[in-house]
Amino acid sequence: MFSPSIVYGLMFDEITASSLVKVDMACNKLLDSPFPVNPAGFVIHSAVHEARPEAGCVMHTHSRAGVAVSAQKAGILPISQQSTFVLASLAYHTYEGVALRAEEKVRLQADLGRANHLVLRNHGLLTVGKSIPDAFLAMYTLENTCRIQIDAMAGGTELTQVDPAILAGMADVMRVATAGLGSQLAWPALLRKVEKLDAAYRT
């Protein structure tokens, strides 16, 4: 399993493969590391891994657009093509304060269910994938859904919503749109891009 962004003490652009902290399901470090583990991050990520054994990767972000939409009562609106993919597998979890209490896990697990996109109310976004590419593509789509929504609402005019009939069967549409490759359609190109920018992430 892989759950990034649990490390304390580093900027995101400083993190490389060797600075990630490997822990077990009780948050015990399995390899020596000078970096502490974010306890709130562990509670959230471990809750998902416990409930979803097929989850090879869980991503959680506090992006500006994601937090903004998480605070909106209506949540994700069906106003973009991106949102139709998200709405096909979306859940919400009510904010309970900083996630430090193990008892919140049960409620988070129940709210997530089988969804692959989770909006943590007043908090941020979370995605689940069988692999790192799957979770990343889900997060990329969810993040852009939120950015589009914030931009559209900033226009101050009434928004046109997607016909509910179009939302049905979006999982099949996604498979066709990615030529059956899913996240692998984009992942190799993304790796080539990061290699050109800075290959140091591998060390």
DSSP string over 173-188: HHHHHTTT-GGGGTHH
**Residue 111 Cα to chain centre, angstroms:** 15
- Predicted TM-score (pTM) above 0.95: no
Please, which pLDDT band fits residue 4 given cuts at 50, 70 and 90?
A: very low
Question: What is the identity of the amino acid at 200?
Answer: A
**Exposed/middle/buried for 134, CB within 10 Å: 0-12, 13-18, 19+?**
buried
Residue 179 has pLDDT above 70, yes or no: no
148/57 Cα distance (integer angstroms): 25
pLDDT of residue 142: 98
Residue with tokens 């591998």: 202
194/149 Cα distance (integer angstroms): 28
pLDDT in tens, 68-104: 999 999 999 999 999 999 999 999 999 999 998 999 9
200/107 Cα distance (integer angstroms): 39
- Between 102 and 14, the more confident residue is 102
pLDDT of residue 3: 43
Q: Which of 18, 44, 9, 24 has its CA nearest to residue 126?
A: 44
pLDDT of residue 111: 98
Residue 30 has pLDDT above 80, yes or no: yes
Please state, as a whole number, how many other Cβ atoms lie within 10 Å of the Cβ of residue 58: 26
The three-state secondary structure class of 93 is strand
Residue 54 has pLDDT above 90, yes or no: yes
